[in-house]
Amino acid sequence: MKMCPMCVVVPGLILGLSAAALLGGAGEKPAPAAAPALAADAYTVDGVHSFATFRVKHMNVSYSYGRFDKIEGKFDIDPAKPEAGMIDMTVDATSVNTGNDKRDQHLKSQDFFSVKEFPTLAFKSKSFKKTGDALTCEGDLTMHGVTKTITIPVEFVGQGEGRGGVKLAGFESKFTIKRSDFGMNFMLQGIGDEITVMVSAEGGKK
């Protein structure tokens, strides 16, 4: 009998939001916006000081938590010029870590992430928008071989200087997605469909 594990997302993560909104409608569809170019001077994600974590309900009575241990990518966020923002992050699905090896192995199986087929999760921004003090980012979240356009809240945490004069900056995003939207339908009655994801990223550039 298979044990009941938790399921997750993403990221990258790296990545995602309060809801996945696909563009559509009647009539001719507008051409999709091109993703911003990856700036040469973008902040490179520091995998040691960046985190992609998640929580999911178990049997509708408690929350189970987990994380991905390997996250990489680049970002460039300036609240003063939100239109120039960029996030391009990847999470290693094989690095899922819930504190239980058997559960982690199940999460890597075809019941969930199917990491042999889909070894990574990714988020690539399309555009940023600032409304008052709130900053949001629309982008493509890819997980389990499925790509959805979502909008996530972005908090620019701050910037400073590290060792050797390296310029540092960081952001955080917390959002919710449905794993069923990405074809992960195993045990929806016992394990929650909604996954809360939190990504906290720190990066540096010279």
Asked if residue 61 lies in contact with residue 45, where contact means CB atoms within 8 angstroms, the answer is: no
Nearest to 69 by CA among 54, 88, 84: 54
Q: Which amino acid is at 184?
A: M
* Residue 159 pLDDT greater than 60, yes or no: yes
pLDDT for the residue numbered 94:
98
Q: Can you tell me the mean pLDDT for 83-98?
A: 96
Rounded to two decimals, what is the model's pTM?
0.79
Q: Which residue has the higher pLDDT, 7 or 65?
A: 65
Letter string b/e over residues 142-169, b meaning 16 or more CB atoms within 10 A of that residue's CB: bbbeeebebbbebbbeeeeeeeeeeebb
Q: Which amino acid is at 8?
A: V
Mean pLDDT over each residue of the chain, to the nearest integer: 85
Asked if residue 144 lies in contact with residue 114, where contact means CB atoms within 8 angstroms, the answer is: yes
- Distance, in Å, from the CA atom of 192 to the CA atom of 41, rounded to the nearest integer, reads 40
pLDDT for the residue numbered 11:
36
Q: Which residue has the higher pLDDT, 204 or 8?
A: 204
Asked if residue 188 lies in contact with residue 205, where contact means CB atoms within 8 angstroms, the answer is: no
Query: Could you report the per-residue pLDDT of 20-73, keeping only the tens digit for each?
Result: 333 333 344 444 444 444 455 799 999 999 999 999 999 999 999 999 999 999
- Distance, in Å, from the CA atom of 125 to the CA atom of 37, rounded to the nearest integer, reads 10
* Residue 4 pLDDT greater than 80, yes or no: no
2.40.128.110, 3.55.40.10, 3.30.70.3270, 2.40.30.10: CATH of 37-205: 2.40.128.110
pLDDT for the residue numbered 19:
34
Between 29-38, 71-80, 122-131, the lowest mean confidence (pLDDT) is in 29-38
Please give the radius of gyration of the chain, using alpha carbons only, rounded to the nearest integer.
17
Domain boundaries, the chain: 37-205
Measured in degrees and rounded to the nearest 5, phi and psi for residue 184 equal -105, 90
